[in-house]
A = this chain, B = another copy of it.
Amino acid sequence: MPSQAMPTAAMLVIGDEILSGRTRDANMHHLAKALTDHGIRLEEVRVVADVHERIVAAIKALSSIYDHLFTSGGIGPTHDDITADAVAEAMGARLDIRDDARAILQAHYDRSGQELNAARLRMARVPDGATLIDNPVSAAPGFTLGNVHVMAGVPSIFEAMLAGVLPSLTGGPPMLSQSLRVQRGEGDIAAVLGDLAMANPEVSIGSYPFQRDGAHGSNVVVRSQDGAAVDRVMAELVRLFPEAG
């Protein structure tokens, strides 16, 4: 895979409710698209149960391999929200209620006439050295500690937090892709595609079968940071499969 200064990323979903099948994760797909657009390559996703040791181990592993780690879930006010503790332990940081986070929550609950009780104050527990991530939806902030970006699991909040974080991250030349829809099964075009991939190592060529209205075919996707190379291989594909479109 080419990697011309394209930063890498992983995602960690803290998700009993996803692993039990109760909820369908939506944040992975959103993050994948947003990072691709921003020139950061998402290389791995893990979903782990709400168990402290599992979360700590995954944070340690992923934050040491990839340039960025984005986490989703487990930063609310209830007893099963344990992500901040796990991040602090994994990164060797002290965790306590922080005045800046408390002030944000206090202002929010004052406005809404609700009490900043002990449970809500849990959401002001932020590791020393972390930068807060703005939460325009429900105030309780996420945070960035080192290369770990800790965000809420509720999709609308996850997306708002990501929109705040992404502009501060340096992306590489974005990965460009084009695709061709070929009305032939993968087995018919595999040999030609394999040769094409071998002859053009500067692009990655993927093939994804589809079935629709009884017909089956293949979506061939050409990806590279080099737009001219994508154009060239796409032209070659169209020549090889003139019936496609």
Q: Which residues of A contact B (CB under 8 A)?
A: 1, 13, 16-25, 28-29, 31-36, 41-51, 54, 76-80, 114, 117-120, 122-123, 154, 156, 175, 177, 185-191, 193-194, 197-198, 204-209, 211, 221, 223
Contact = CB atoms under 8 A, between A and B. Distances in A.
A98 to B, nearest CB: 18
A176 B205 CA distance: 44
Nearest to A48: B44
A111 to B, nearest CB: 14
A185 B177 CA distance: 43
Nearest to A194: B79
B79 A193 contact: yes
A205 B22 CA distance: 13
A46 B45 contact: yes
Given A21-B29, A221-B22, A43 B49 contact: yes
A74 to B, nearest CB: 11
B44 A190 contact: no
Contacts of A18: 28-29, 32, 45
A22 B46 CA distance: 18
Contacts of A19: 32, 41-45
8 contacts: A18-B29, A19-B41, A19-B43, A21-B31, A43-B54, A78-B193, A80-B207, A154-B211
